[in-house]
């Protein structure tokens, strides 16, 4: 397979640089516009560019297990700038680096299940699922849980899935949602308001080149869950 143009621009991922974490720590202590503008080139070199290299190197691996997802080193990254309009915390910059991989050829507001990677001093998270589905999407997922319960349970009980993630994560209702029998065999899953799985690693884990393969392996194991959720939403 010929490499994509983006893969030629960005060199192979060799691990996130330790200096990138040092920059994020300094940003946390100096989270203001003047300081950031003076050090923006460090952000570009030590934080943004390594994440772009990671995404570009991850893209061909996704061809083997989830080719329907879009990995773009220029578009998949979250911006460093915080949206402070509705937050009491008015610090202007995020102190982590993150990327999100969504389905190709879907409307901008499709908001389905996707993959996520989050890198910050002291915490690294990778995973996938749907974090805040709106009411319509939530109803469709719950409908699929009832109508395709055997398929859903087979995903959660698959050997590699259980070993990798242990169980489904997400906040839950304390009571069954309206219209569902409290005695329904799937009621504990129907109570979920979020549906995702993930792994937390220490900072050192992503300093190494093999973070690419480790994260790709986890994304691959999560893929059947994401497909179930997206098929439910798209029904």
What are 48-78's pLDDT values in tens digits?
999 999 999 999 999 999 999 999 999 999 9
Work out the average pLDDT over 105-116: 77
Question: Per residue in 21-48, is it b (16+ CB within 10 Å) or e — as a string?
Answer: bebbeebeeebeeeebeeeeebbeebbb
Domain architecture of the chain: domains with CATH: 5-234 (3.30.930.20)
Mean per-residue pLDDT, 177-196: 96
Give the C-alpha separation, 173 to 10, whole Å. Answer: 44
**193-230 pLDDT, tens per residue?**
999 999 999 999 999 999 999 999 999 999 999 999 99
How many alpha carbons fall within 13 Å on the CB side of residue 181?
5
pLDDT at residue 105 tops 80: no
Give the H/E segment covering residue 219.
Answer: helix 211-234
**Residues in contact with 123: Cβ distance below 8 Å, sequence separation at least 6, in sequence order:** 96, 200, 203
pLDDT of residue 13 exceeding 70, the answer is: yes
Mean pLDDT across the chain: 93
pLDDT-derived band at 110, boundaries 50, 70, 90: low
Q: How confident is the model at residue 130 (pLDDT cuts 50, 70, 90)?
A: very high
When pLDDT is cut at 50, 70 and 90, the band that residue 6 belongs to is: low
How much is the average pLDDT of 142-171? 97
* Dist CA 170 CA 162 (whole Å): 16
Q: Please name the residues in contact with 15: beta carbons below 8 A apart, sequence gap of 6 or more.
A: 50, 206, 207, 208, 209, 211
Model confidence pLDDT, tens digit, residues 14-46: 999 999 999 999 999 999 999 999 999 999 999
H-helix or E-strand spanning residue 115: strand 114-120
């Amino acid at each position: 397979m010929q490499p994509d143009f983006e893969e030629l621009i960005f060199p192979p991922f060799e691990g996130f640089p330790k200096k990138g974490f040092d920059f994020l720590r300094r940003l946390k202590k100096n989270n203001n516009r003047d300081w950031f503008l003076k050090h923006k080139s460090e952000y570009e070199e030590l934080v943004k560019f390594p994440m772009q290299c990671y995404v570009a190197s991850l893209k061909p691996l996704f061809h083997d297990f989830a080719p329907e997802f879009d990995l773009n080193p220029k578009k998949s990254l979250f911006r460093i700038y915080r949206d402070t309009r509705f937050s009491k915390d008015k610090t202007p910059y995020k102190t982590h680096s993150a990327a999100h991989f969504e389905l190709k050829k879907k409307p901008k507001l499709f908001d389905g299940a996707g993959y996520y990677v989050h890198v910050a001093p002291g915490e690294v998270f990778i995973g996938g699922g749907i974090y805040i589905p709106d009411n319509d999407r939530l109803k469709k997922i719950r409908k699929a849980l009832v109508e395709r319960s055997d398929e859903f349970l087979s995903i959660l009980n698959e050997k590699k899935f259980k070993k990798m993630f242990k169980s489904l994560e997400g906040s839950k209702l304390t009571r069954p949602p309206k219209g569902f029998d409290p005695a329904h065999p799937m009621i504990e899953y129907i109570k979920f308001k979020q549906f995702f799985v993930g792994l937390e690693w220490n900072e050192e884990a992503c300093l190494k080149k093999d973070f690419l393969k480790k994260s790709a392996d986890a994304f691959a194991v999560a893929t059947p869950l994401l497909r179930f959720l997206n098929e439910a939403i798209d029904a």
